[in-house]
Amino acid sequence: MRTAEIRRRFLDFFAERGHTVVPSAPLPTPDPTLLFVNAGMVPFKPYLTGETAAPWPRATSVQKCVRTLDIEEVGRTTRHGSFFQMNGNFSFGDYFKEEAIAFAWELSTSPTPDGGYGLDPDRIWVTVHHGDDESRALWRRVAGLPDERIVARGDEDNFWSMGVPGPCGPCSELYYDRGPALGRAGGPAVDEDRYMEFWNLVFMQYERGEGPGKSGYPILGELPHRNIDTGMGVERMATLLQGVDNLYETDETRPVLDRAAELAGVRYGADAEADVRLRVVADHVRTALMLLADGVSPGNEGRGYVLRRLLRRAVRAMRRLGHQDPALPELLAVARDRMAPGYPEVADAYDRIADRAAGEEDAFRATLRQGTTVLDTAVAEVTSHGGRRLPGAQAFLLHDTYGFPIDLTLEMAAEQGVEVDREGFTALMREQRERARADARARKSGGTDTAVLRGVLGEHGPTDWRAWSALTTRSRVLALVTASGPAPAAGEGQIVTAVLDRTPFYAESGGQESDAGHLTGASVEAEVLDVQRPLPGLVVHQVRVTAGELAVGDEVTAAVDPEWRLGARQAHSGTHVLHAALRQVLGPTALQSGSYNRPGHLRLDFPWRGALSPSAQSEIEEAANQALRRDLPVGVRWMTLPEAKELGALALFGETYGEKVRVVEIGGAWSRELCGGTHVEHASQIGVVALTSQSSVGAGMRRLEAAVGIEGFGYLARERDLVARIAEQVQAPRAELPDRVAGLLERLKSADRVNQRLRQAALRARAAELAGRAQDADGVLVVTATADGGPDDTRTLATAVRDLLPADRPGVVVIGTAAGGRTSLVAAVNGAADASGLHAARLVKRLLNGKGGGTARLAQGGGLPAGDLRRVLESVPATLHGH
């Protein structure tokens, strides 16, 4: 049974039993604690925790998931995959254990002609929590399972919670016996390779308190509404139903693996290490395809870093298999063909996906060339001092600055007999990730503990949010929270997070910066600094009290700065206009993949190979301003997500949408996007869209920035004044400026070429003069001198003198400079000196008390006071013979 059929049967089965079919959420998640959806229940978490009322009593989904915590194990074991799909059925206070167990048993064991999966009932084992006698009894009664195939296990295996206070409960897992060829008899407690888990039923019935780990925390009591959360691994079920050994051999993954083997000229199953690499390629290519389809772009942090790492690991694995040519275009096309039946978006967006992946592969191939040089230099530095261990900081520099993967550093260092301080590298990586995660969490929550905010939401309900319709509201302060916890009041000068019962303030989202404004009451004034939505339905305000005291229960007027809001509306509508103009000029693949807008300014990222030409930029800018000139109407409509897609509305990548979506139209179909931002009512109210810059923000990704509104007019006025000043300075009419400036530049280049020739001639003459007065110091020709140039000129002079010395006699050249009050030295030795044991790097270190470095033939250093330069140069002969 193909994987697409496994997904279809699951949804059909539960739809027939009253479950609402919910589409998979995008892989990027708004949850500040996660980068990606990593379990089927993540999109339903607000309903399961009670933060938000569920819109349906029961639901079912096939959710895309990505987990990368154990990425190093991918391919090395056949149980780990970074992308997987989770079939799930959910009950929100509706049915409970008996129905969940009955549904799972019926679908698993019903014959395939009847819509089931046709698993042999006699080969199914289940586990239950050791304290859950109710589930054990239900498995006996509902499924007829004998006691010996119902295994009791402890909290670590069969009790679920999210790791924080909240819902929890026992779970029951279904396993399938794959036969004695795959392991020992005795059930899942003995061998989980032979007995493969394929479905987990979680019975949320308790509330847990504070406590570490998976056990040892107190159970506070029963939940008011009991929930069901189940997860069936799609790839696990495909492994069982397709009769293959592991998830890499199922119908959606094996074709990618086979194509990789074909490109590399190897055979899967012939070599264990090659098999690991092939599995890495198959897994990472499929995961990258799905991330790219959901709008993630390769980058240096967060989600982009994960995607970049996956792509680069795949490319590196292909190179280690012997395939040196670009591989991703071939492999992604195979993955697309296998995943498109279940996810048509991967075919619809494939041109964009392929272009971005190809750009990343090209960039990484260049990185490999550059990083290899840096690594070789670092290894030479270590070994020149007799060391055999590359510092973790050096490995981290290679990774962080040059994008050099640690596994590649480890391998190439080992080839040169050097190990890597892996612990030091890991510690630096951990520090970097923790900083990034802490920054993200603090930004989302306003620096406030979300557990406290969750309590506020539970007590008072969601915020009455009126940003689309109002600039002011009469509001009541529900809570004040500081970094140390809830506070009854905040005095003048304090910064505090304020929760209001209603607000007109726009919370930062969709690329739009939050509103600015004030809270005023009978005895208080406060400035609103930031507005965030840390939990679904809850808006929080970071405020600075500027006068009086702000207290819980105060009645205040919440007022948005009208000028700020006008500028924000102009910028957000301007982003939509620029996006539509971009697609009009460049074509439909120029899809927005990120944006940011604040009053007067916007930026828009989109996939594109190479810089836009000046004519393309002008055409885009003109198309945008033509829309403003035509005063296209701006309208908002609410509809279901399928209706919006049918209408052709563009969805922002990484956003999560509810049952109803908000569609913003500018000129009808000319610009139609799903958007929750604030907008003008007519395009002419934007004023002007003036492109200010374009830049690269990664392989295959461009960024356009623009000024809009009054700031746009100000930008154009400054450009006009600049042109006028240049025209006056070069004494040319504006129309002749390009030719006049080009002529001046050519004259400067010509003069520079003449100066360069003169400098080279002077350097050659100086080098000949210095070589001619080389002194013999016990058989070594020694040249010492001072120079006035910079480091490049000094190195050039030293090597030129060295090359003029007789090749059959050892020769050493030391040139010194004194700049900024410090001494700088360059030492060069010829081949005969090198062969006799003289070493430029060691010589520099002796002359400068250990400060300096380089190679055996050329080195440099500095740091001593400038007054020591003559003494240092005079000591060269004696230092040489102390080598």
Q: 611 with 664: CB under 8 angstroms?
A: no
Q: Which residues pair with 544 in a beta bridge?
A: 495, 527
Pairing of strands 20-21, 502-503: unpaired
* Inter-residue contact 478 to 496 (CB < 8 Å): no
Separation of alpha carbons 171 and 201, rounded Å: 5
Give the per-residue pLDDT at 655.
54
Pairing relationship of beta strands 124-129 and 166-177 according to DSSP bridges: antiparallel
Binding site as annotated, residues: 572, 576, 675, 679
User: Dmax over Cα atoms in the chain, in whole Å?
Assistant: 104
Q: Are 691 and 674 in contact (CB under 8 A)?
A: no
**Helix and strand numbers, DSSP H then E, in the chain:** 26, 34
pLDDT at 444: 47
d(CA 712, CA 686): 10
109/375 Cα distance (integer angstroms): 57
pLDDT of residue 576: 96
Query: Is residue 439 over pLDDT 70?
Result: no
Contact 859, 826 (CB under 8 A): yes
pLDDT tens readout for residues 288-333:
999 999 888 887 677 888 898 899 889 988 988 989 889 999 999 9
Please list the alpha-helical segments (H only) found in 391-460.
392-402, 406-415, 422-445, 450-460
Name the residue with tokens 């990704």. Answer: 701
* Strand, coil or helix: 487: strand
Nearest 10 degrees: CA dihedral of 650, 654, 657, 662?
-40
Only one residue has tokens 């990083």, namely: 371
* Axis-axis angle for helices 709-730, 737-772 (nearest 10): 70
Q: Which comes out higher in pLDDT, residue 821 or 344? A: 344
What is the per-residue pLDDT across 67-78, written as a single tens digit (0 to 9) for each? 877 677 787 777
Residue numbers in the known binding site for Zn(2+) are 572, 576, 675, 679
Q: Quick check: 649 and 674 in contact, CB under 8 A?
A: yes
Whether residue 140 contacts residue 147, with contact meaning beta carbons closer than 8 Å, is answered with yes
User: What is the mean pLDDT of the segment spanning 97-124?
Assistant: 95
Predicted TM-score (pTM) of the model is: 0.62
Degrees to nearest 5, angle at CA 529 with 524 and 535: 105
In the predicted model, is pLDDT for residue 547 greater than 60? yes
In tens, the pLDDT along 562-602 reads 999 999 999 999 999 999 999 999 988 788 888 999 999 99
Tokens standing for residue 382 = 């270590």
pLDDT of residue 371: 74
User: Which residue pairs from 520-526 have beta carbons closer than 8 angstroms and sit at least 24 positions apart in sequence?
Assistant: 520/556, 520/557, 520/559, 521/548, 521/550, 521/554, 521/555, 521/556, 521/557, 522/554, 522/555, 523/548, 523/549, 524/548, 524/549, 524/550, 524/551, 524/554, 524/556, 526/498, 526/550, 526/556
* Angstrom distance (rounded) from CA 662 to CA 673: 8
* Mean pLDDT of the residues in the chain: 88
Q: What pLDDT shows up at residue 216?
A: 73
